[in-house]
Amino acid sequence: MTRRDLIAGNWKMNATHLEAIQMVQKLSYRLDPADHERVDVVVCPAFTALRSVQTVIEADHLRIQLGAQNVHWEESGPYTGEVSPLMLSRLGVRFVIVGHSERRQVFGEDDTVVARKLKAVVATGMTPILAVGETLDQRDRGETDEVIGAQARTALRGLDADQLGRMAVAYEPIWAIGTGHNADPDTAAAAALVIRAVVSELGGLEAAAAARILYGGSVNPGNISAFMAKREIDGALVGGASLDPDQFAAIVRYWV
């Protein structure tokens, strides 16, 4: 089973729609068709920039794919300030990050909310990028496998084998996000194995062999190739370094 690489840029709450247009254009100049043959390249701008970035992608026939950073689980309704999966999918959004630690920690999203969102994204035909990861305290207490296993299991339970096989799950240790201290590639690969075992437990070996497991947390052009060299790691979820088109392109072209 060969899994296609997936490298996604999470722009978080950065870039106005005008800046986002420039960023996606610059990124596109730095990538060539061969890169897209090898890697699914995804950018996840803020909601306010999705339409602008989508317009550039369509007008310039770019192979960069559009992702969103968050979503609500209902299709419509009295949910002031929320954005539905249907709204995203009609905009051409293909990927949605679900359960990012900033959503869990700052906005109080628990595993139940994450599971609902994930199912709504799948039901709308988009691909979730489920983020799971432990805190430094949990790691120090030796609870990493248990924590990420439980997060993955709660979110993914109820999906069928086919849906599980099309999932992307990002292992994002919280202590590595935005800190400049990336996880050791062996540590990340071990966590990816734990996540793949959960997919296997829920959906069987074929689903587990097809699902893509990413690493996220202080990924940069200097460390990406060590992660991608691990058989268990199929890509990356990139925060800070994805804001700079030069750096993000260098991450996408990790083999160069």
Least distance to ligand PGA, CB of residue 242, Å? 7
CA distance 88 to 249: 25
| CB of 235 or CB of 239, closer to ligand PGA | 239
Of the two residues 67 and 216, which places its CB atom closer to ligand PGA in the complex? Answer: 216
Q: How far is the CB of 177 from ligand PGA (least distance, A)?
A: 4
Q: Catalytic: which of 100, 109, 134, 232? A: 100
Residues 6+ apart with CB under 8 A from 249: 27, 30, 31
The whole-angstrom separation of Cα 200 and Cα 202 is 5
Nearer Cβ to ligand PGA (203/240): 240
Q: 156-163: long-range contacts at Cβ-Cβ below 8 A with a sequence spacing of 24 or more?
A: 156/118, 156/130, 156/198, 156/199, 156/202, 156/203, 157/115, 157/202, 158/115, 158/119, 159/118, 159/119, 159/122, 159/202, 159/203, 160/203, 161/203, 161/204, 161/206, 161/207, 162/207, 163/122, 163/203
Phi, psi of 210 (to 5 degrees): -95, -30
In the complex with ligand PGA, the residue whose CB is nearer, 42 or 208, is 42
Q: Is 36 a catalytic residue?
A: no
Q: Which residues would be at the binding site for ligand PGA (CB under 6 A)?
A: 10, 172, 177-178, 216-219, 237-241
Which of 102, 109, 172, 232 is an active site residue? 172
Ranked by CB distance to ligand PGA, the top (closest) residue is 239
**3-class state of residue 131 by DSSP:** strand
Cβ at position 131, least distance to ligand PGA in Å: 7
Instruction: For residue 172, indicate whether it is catalytic.
Output: yes
Q: How far is the CB of 26 from ligand PGA (least distance, A)?
A: 19
Which residues are marked as active site?
Answer: 100, 172
